[in-house]
Amino acid sequence: MTSKATFGAGCFWGVEATFRELEGVVDAAVGYEGGQMLNPTYKDVCTDRTGHAEVVEVEYDPSKISFERLLDVFWDAHDPTQVNRQGPDSGTQYRSVIFFHTPEQEQAARASKDALEKSGRFRRPIATQIEPAQTFYRAEDYHQQYLAKRGLRHCHI
């Protein structure tokens, strides 16, 4: 039996590639979540007017990898102190967000964020939002495994 976890950490291409490398991750798909428009396209989301974040929906086997381990990878995959941006990408679609699917995921996400805040690892406050999962809209096929299709491991040089 598998579980789902959904993370927004900037451009979804690199985030997807990072999660796909983990043992226990069965699948990872890029898409859009957290906005008002039904069935948004990449073009729609890029207007920064739909309210959606670029996210990765991770399907994982909890007997092989824990949600807490996925959270650790999420925190390491981006700068959670940046508001509505990651690197050169800016806009609400690039916000740092965890969409939880269960009360246990919410509790784990909040505890993990609190522990990270208290760790002193970052000088600025963590901007990551923690919200209930909403409708996940799978991105267009050309976005799925985008980096792998091009023989790349990350987005930015």
- Catalytic residue set: 11
Tokens 């799925």 map to which residue?
Answer: 144
Phi then psi for 71, rounded to 5 degrees?
Answer: -60, -45
> Residue 141 phi/psi, 5° resolution?
-55, -35
Reduce the DSSP state of residue 109 to 3 states and report it. Answer: helix
152 CB-near residues (< 8 Å, 6+ apart): none
DSSP state string for 26-91 = EEEEEEEES-SSSS--HHHHTTT-S--EEEEEEEE-TTTS-HHHHHHHHHHTS-TTSSSEETTEES
Residue 104 in contact with residue 71, Cβ under 8 Å?
no
